[in-house]
């Protein structure tokens, strides 16, 4: 297989665990130069140290995806360290699900801030660079909840449906504008990550943990999909990937 990943500079948000961490480790092994962002800088540093020990290239940058300035800073850090940016993987997300009637409005706002504004801020930060160099790859984690609705996921579904629509418009506009910016939206089902830790509603948490205990698969499976998308030739895009356990009837 051709390795179109080697030498690419990739920013990963939500990189301190789960899908982000697994993707960082895989891409580093394939020769990518990584800029890892998350709030838990100590955890990022541990991952960077492991990558470097194995001969890979990576740096850590504290990142709050809800802050435009923080997103701009990680983009500038990537350019200063590696000279260019080839892709950004917008992977940060929260899933504090609950029935709408529970009115956990603070958690609603958190999901909008991270799952929607976090994507918008990341794209806004990197877009001038991608437009100027007439190339770039935007990859974002949505969810199977961005394809269909499920009880207790009303707000979460809304945020993930937004990612789906926004990324599709970005793909079409980039094609029309001739900027050669490719997109890939990933719709994971039950993937074993820390996402369930954000659920404060006891009943929903119990049900989701039972579901994931029965079906969940490793985040490395999603990392493989990210690597596949990045490895495609520059004239080709696969803009949507739905991935989950083979035995889960999502």
Q: Show the 3-state SS of the chain.
A: CCCCCCCCEEEEECCCCHHHHHHHHHHHHCCCEEEEEECCHHHHHHHHHHHHHCCCEEEEEECCCCCHHHHHHHHHHHHHHHCCCCEEEECCCCCCCCCHHHCCHHHHHHHHHHHHHHHHHHHHHHHHHHHHHCCEEEEEECCHHHCCCCCCCHHHHHHHHHHHHHHHHHHHHHHHHCCCEEEEEEEECCECCHHHHHCCCHHHHHHHHHHHHHHCECCHHHHHHHHHHHHCCCCCCCCEEEECCCCCCC
For residue 194, tell me if it sits in a domain: yes
156 catalytic, yes or no?
A: yes
For residue 164, tell me if it sits in a domain: yes
For residue 102, tell me if it sits in a domain: yes
Q: What is the CATH number of the domain that holds 13?
A: 3.40.50.720
Number of domains into which the chain is organized: 1
* pLDDT value at 74 more than 90: yes
Stated pTM of the model: 0.96
| Residue 150: domain span | 9-243
Marked catalytic residue, from 150, 156, 212, 215: 156
pLDDT digits over 105-143, tens only? 999 999 999 999 999 999 999 999 999 999 999 999 999
For residue 64, tell me if it sits in a domain: yes
For residue 3, tell me if it sits in a domain: no
* pLDDT value at 1 more than 60: no
């Amino acid at each position: 297989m051709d390795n179109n990943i080697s030498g690419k500079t990739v920013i990963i948000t939500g990189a301190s665990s789960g899908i982000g961490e697994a993707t960082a480790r895989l891409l580093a092994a394939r020769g990518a130069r990584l800029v890892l962002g998350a709030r838990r800088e100590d955890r990022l540093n541990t991952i960077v140290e492991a990558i470097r020990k194995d001969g890979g290239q990576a740096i850590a940058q504290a990142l709050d995806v809800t802050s435009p300035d923080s997103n701009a800073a990680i983009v500038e850090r990537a350019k200063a360290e590696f000279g260019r940016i080839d892709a950004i993987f917008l992977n940060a997300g929260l899933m504090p699900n609950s029935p709408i009637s529970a009115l956990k409005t603070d958690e609603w706002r958190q999901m909008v801030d991270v799952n929607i504004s976090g994507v918008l801020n990341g794209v806004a930060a990197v877009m001038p660079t991608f437009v100027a160099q007439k190339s770039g790859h935007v990859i974002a984690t949505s969810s199977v909840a961005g394809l269909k609705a499920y009880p207790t996921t009303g707000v979460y579904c809304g945020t993930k449906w937004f990612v789906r629509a926004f990324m599709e418009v970005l793909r079409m506009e980039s094609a029309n504008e001739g900027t050669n910016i490719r997109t890939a939206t990933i719709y994971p089902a039950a993937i074993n990550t820390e996402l369930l830790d954000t659920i404060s509603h006891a009943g929903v948490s119990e049900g989701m943990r039972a579901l994931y205990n029965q079906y969940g698969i490793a985040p490395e499976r999603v990392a493989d999909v990210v690597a596949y998308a990045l490895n495609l030739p520059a004239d080709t895009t696969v803009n949507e990937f739905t991935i989950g356990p083979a035995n889960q009837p999502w």
